[in-house]
Amino acid sequence: MQNLEAARAQARTAARVAQAEAERQRALVAEYEQVKDAFREGDFDAPLPDDFRRLLDRILRPGD
C-alpha cells in the first residue's frame, strides 16, 4: 500500500511539473507571437526575447 501511495505522489508531482512547463511554453509562444506580429507590421525596433537574441548572436558570430 505504501508503494501505491508513493507512486500516486510521484504522479501528482510529475503532473505539476508538466503543468508548469506547459505554462512556461504558453508564455514563450505569446512572446514570440508578439515579435512575429511586430515584424509583420514593419516594427523592426520591437524588443526581442533574450533567448532569441542569444540565438541570433550565436548565428551571426559563429567564430567567437
pLDDT at 47: 85
As a whole number of Å, the CA-based R_g of the chain is 20
Grid cell 512556461 — which residue? Answer: 24
pLDDT at 64: 62
Angstrom distance (rounded) from CA 64 to CA 48: 22
All cell numbers assigned to 37: 506580429
CB 52 within 8 A of CB 38: no
pLDDT at 56 over 70: yes
pLDDT at 51: 84
pTM, two decimals, is: 0.64
Angle ∠(32,38,44) on CA atoms, nearest 5:
110
pLDDT at 1 over 90: no
Q: What is the pLDDT of residues 5-55, one digit of tens each?
A: 999 999 999 999 999 999 999 998 998 898 899 989 998 888 888 888 888
